[in-house]
Amino acid sequence: MRTLVFFLLCCLSTLAIHAQKPVSIALRPGASEPETRAANVLRSYLQQITGQPVPLQSAEKVPDGYAPVLLGKHPALQQFGFQQPPALPDDAFFLEGKNGAFLIAGGGDMGAEYGVYTLLELLGCRKYSPRDSFIPDIKNLQLPAYPPATEIPAFPYRELHYEPAFDEGWARWHKLKTRRNKDADWGLFVHTFQHLCPAERYFAEHPEYFAWNGAQRSPGQLCLSNDTVRQIVTDALREKIREKPDAKYWSVSQNDNFDYCKCPRCAAADARYGSPAGTLLAFVNKIAASFPDKTLSTLAYQYTRQAPKGIKPAKNVSVCLCSIECNRGQSIEDGCTDFARDVRAWSALTSHLMIWDYVVQFRSYVSPFPNWHTLQPNLQFFRQNGVNMVFEQGSGRDCSEFSDMRAYLLAKLMWNPQANMDSILTDFGDGYYGSARPAIWAYIHRLTEAVLKGDRQLTIYNIPQNEPFLDSAGLDIMNRELGQLLRTHRDDSVFINRMMGAYTPVLFARMERSKTDSTQLATMLKWPTAQLDRNLRAFTDGCARAGIRNLHEGGYTPDQYRLDYLAFVDNMRRAAASRTTSVSLTIPASATYAKGDPNELINRRIGETDYRYNWLGFQGVDLQATATVGGTEPVSTIQVSFLQDQQSWVFFPEKVVFEISPDGQHFQQVLEENIVIRAEGGKRVRLVEARFDPQPVRAVRVTAVNIKTCPAWHTCNGNPCWIFADEVGVW
């Protein structure tokens, strides 16, 4: 009897499978282009899922024998009991599944397509990254039952500046502004004064068009109270709009520096509005009046971040508020209360508010950056305060620490900040990392707990040497655990490539922290160069497998990092033999860097291109250091290094003088080197060296003459500039 029942059940099951209606796609006659496009996308994926042709039907009635997906206002809606909402906003969509059919309706150009991607995810499809997708194999596909639901994006404008989002297909799947659409929509995008009234064209003959910085005119910003400047900018903008007439957004915004105009008229306007933002807004509002059919965007950034009083943005002016200064170790409401204040204040002034947020470590893309716990509450806060445009800036076209997973999470939260973040991450982790997900979660949790238990400071411009949440013991644990996973799966190339996005940050942090850890540094200096190079190549190979081409936004490659690290160790070995025993300064160094400790000049730790470690800084004053020399052997060489980072107001000294003394009292000059200061980009280290006949030396004196203020050609001319010196070496 049991055998007979089992046989009958099997037969009924087989009949049910064979009776399952094949899926089709139904378009109404004369369907719109967005609906047709969405239908073609859906058809392509359904054919991959089922391995069978999926008909695309265009008739008023759905033929019998099919389980249809209806797109838009199809005449057969009532046939299946559907009732579509009368209208949907741009990008929004409506879904419902019942009676063996499924309805997708969308608003604007992309709503129907976004609805298609949501259905595909309901069916089990995933697009983790541009390189990693999952499409299930379902021979007998059954459309899901789904209660009627309308989805409207929390932010009408959603742009993600992360490597995955530069892929057209990934961006569309995740309901983001694509690069193609962004390029079409924007005529000019931020920091545009330099394009609309360029200094190279006007500054020489008309310095009055540009900012008075308190001492002189500077080409860095414009004088916003100058009527001629406003006319020049208006005319230049009109010409650019003529070249790209279909673009909707045009930025009229400050350049990327602090050197705003402080002339009497601008200063009076700043005081009247309570913020330089008011002076900027008055300038932009007047220009916007000439272009009523365009949206002019301007920045609330750094010195213009605070909302003004007594003035509002014009109806066609959008304000882009930037969170560059915020602590990423806490949510904005908890850890950046002044920025939260500015969000609320700007929101009260305009309904056209854009947030430019920052979600990556810009100084080192591969440095561990545990900001996961802040991403959702920040987006929720923006939504609560009426923000309608969000730009989340990650590492751009470069892969970085967890860039695939962060981009995936941010895309989901930008659509719906109330979504379950744990579910999103678990879904991604199971599909992307598989059995390694618990180890990845433990890694993220350990770093996050370290931030929350410490001082909770996490900035977007820092280095592992200065991060208190990165300790040697914790890094060793993570290195051991992740390394074991890699060894266990050494034959799985896909797994290795994905894991390297987590493992290379651990390697990088350990190598960087070794530069300032005396114990680790001493150990490393004992290694043969070949052994050190093998360790460094493990890092560069890991970067290559993870797709990491640059270590920061300046385009610094892992291979160049390896060469620089080898040179750093060589210099450290040479510095270890220096004869200096003590040092004093005639003029104190800035306490901001190395706590102003003169011993930074002789501690045998070599400065590289980051002024925040292993350098001693002097702002607006000269350096004069006197170092005592130990031992009785004759001396023949003196060296000292200087840093240049002109964007940060750091310049080489204009003159360097070396003097030696046999008794510590009487000095004679052995070198005077003059340095021509030119406008140069990037960061450079210059070694100044004196070689002379060997002779007894008790003390050396190094004098470096600071140019005192940024040169006239610099965007922040007239401001006190820096010299940074490191390692007075004597041999």
- The conformation of residue 709, written as its DSSP 8-state character, comes to B
- Per-residue pLDDT, 9: 36
Q: Is 595 left (phi over 0), alpha (psi -120 to 50) or beta?
A: left
How far does CA 626 lie from the centroid of its chain? 43
Phi, psi (degrees; rounded to nearest 5) at 499: -70, -25
Whole-angstrom distance, CA of residue 617 vs CA of residue 592: 8
Whole-angstrom distance, CA of residue 672 vs CA of residue 658: 7
Whole-angstrom distance, CA of residue 157 vs CA of residue 144: 30
Please give the average per-residue pLDDT across 197-204, as a whole number. 96
The yes-or-no verdict on residue 587 having pLDDT over 90 is yes
DSSP assignment of 643-659 equals EEEGGGTB---SEEEEE
- Give residue for tokens 């997973």: 405
Evaluate if pTM is beyond 0.85. Answer: yes
Residue pair 500/542 in contact by the 8 Å Cβ criterion: yes
* H-helix or E-strand spanning residue 158: strand 157-161
**3-state secondary structure string, 235-262?**
HHHHHHHHHCCCCCEEECCCCCCCCCCC
Q: How many residues does the chain have?
A: 731
Beta carbons within 10 angstroms of residue 348's beta carbon: 12
Residue in 509, 559, 547 with CA at minimum distance from that of residue 404: 547
- Per-residue pLDDT, 454: 81
% of the chain exceeding 90 in pLDDT: 90
- Per-residue pLDDT, 6: 36
Angle between helix 518-526 and helix 493-514 axes, rounded to 10 deg: 110
* H-helix or E-strand spanning residue 282: helix 276-288
* H-helix or E-strand spanning residue 2: helix 2-19
pLDDT tens string 339-391? 999 999 999 999 999 999 999 999 999 999 999 999 999 999 999 999 999 99
Residue pair 177/159 in contact by the 8 Å Cβ criterion: yes
Please give the average per-residue pLDDT across 17-40, as a whole number. 88
pLDDT tens string 567-584? 999 999 999 999 999 999
- Per-residue pLDDT, 377: 98
Lowest mean per-residue pLDDT among 204-218, 276-290, 585-599, 614-628? 204-218
Within 13 Å of residue 125, how many CA atoms lie on the same side as its CB?
22
- Per-residue pLDDT, 718: 84
Lowest mean per-residue pLDDT among 287-291, 552-556, 661-665? 552-556
Angle at 132 between CA 422 and CA 427, to 5 degrees: 15
Please give the average per-residue pLDDT across 637-647, as a whole number. 97
Phi, psi (degrees; rounded to nearest 5) at 477: -65, -50
Under DSSP, is residue 178 helix (H, G, I), strand (E, B) or coil? coil
> In which band, very low, low, confident or very high, does the pLDDT at 712 lie, cut at 50, 70 and 90?
confident
Beta carbons within 8 Å of 591's beta carbon, 6+ residues apart: none
- The conformation of residue 79, written as its DSSP 8-state character, comes to G
- Give residue for tokens 């990845």: 440
- Per-residue pLDDT, 669: 98
- Give residue for tokens 């009732």: 83
Please give the average per-residue pLDDT across 55-79, as a whole number. 92
> In which band, very low, low, confident or very high, does the pLDDT at 10 lie, cut at 50, 70 and 90?
very low
- The conformation of residue 283, written as its DSSP 8-state character, comes to H
Please give the average per-residue pLDDT across 666-683, as a whole number. 96
Under DSSP, is residue 714 helix (H, G, I), strand (E, B) or coil? coil
> In which band, very low, low, confident or very high, does the pLDDT at 516 lie, cut at 50, 70 and 90?
confident
Beta carbons within 10 angstroms of residue 122's beta carbon: 14
% of the chain exceeding 70 in pLDDT: 97
Residue in 663, 649, 660 with CA at minimum distance from that of residue 690: 660
- Give residue for tokens 């510590």: 664
Whole-angstrom distance, CA of residue 43 vs CA of residue 63: 17
Dihedral sign for Cα 296, 300, 301, 302, please: positive
Phi, psi (degrees; rounded to nearest 5) at 680: -140, 140
Q: In sequence order, which ranges of 54-202 are alpha helices (DSSP H)? A: 111-122, 168-173, 179-185, 193-196, 199-202
pLDDT tens string 116-130? 999 999 999 999 999
The yes-or-no verdict on residue 3 having pLDDT over 50 is no
**Which structure tokens are listed for 622?**
């000269």
Whole-angstrom distance, CA of residue 106 vs CA of residue 73: 10
Average pLDDT, the chain: 94
- Per-residue pLDDT, 580: 98
The yes-or-no verdict on residue 462 having pLDDT over 60 is yes
The yes-or-no verdict on residue 14 having pLDDT over 70 is no
- Per-residue pLDDT, 728: 97
- Per-residue pLDDT, 13: 37
* H-helix or E-strand spanning residue 726: strand 722-730
Under DSSP, is residue 319 helix (H, G, I), strand (E, B) or coil? strand
DSSP assignment of 522-539 equals HHHHHS-HHHHHHHHHHH
- Per-residue pLDDT, 613: 87
Please give the average per-residue pLDDT across 430-440, as a whole number. 95
Whole-angstrom distance, CA of residue 684 vs CA of residue 173: 43
Angstrom distances, CA of residue 39 to CA of 114, 256, 487, 659? 11, 44, 45, 80
The yes-or-no verdict on residue 722 having pLDDT over 80 is yes
Beta carbons within 8 Å of 459's beta carbon, 6+ residues apart: 327, 328
| Burial class of residue 354 in the structure, from the number of CB atoms within 10 Å of its CB (0-12 exposed, 13-18 middle, 19+ buried) | buried
The yes-or-no verdict on residue 11 having pLDDT over 90 is no
Under DSSP, is residue 229 helix (H, G, I), strand (E, B) or coil? helix
Residue pair 349/312 in contact by the 8 Å Cβ criterion: yes
pLDDT tens string 304-335? 999 999 999 999 999 999 999 999 999 999 99
Within 13 Å of residue 713, how many CA atoms lie on the same side as its CB?
7
- The conformation of residue 99, written as its DSSP 8-state character, comes to T
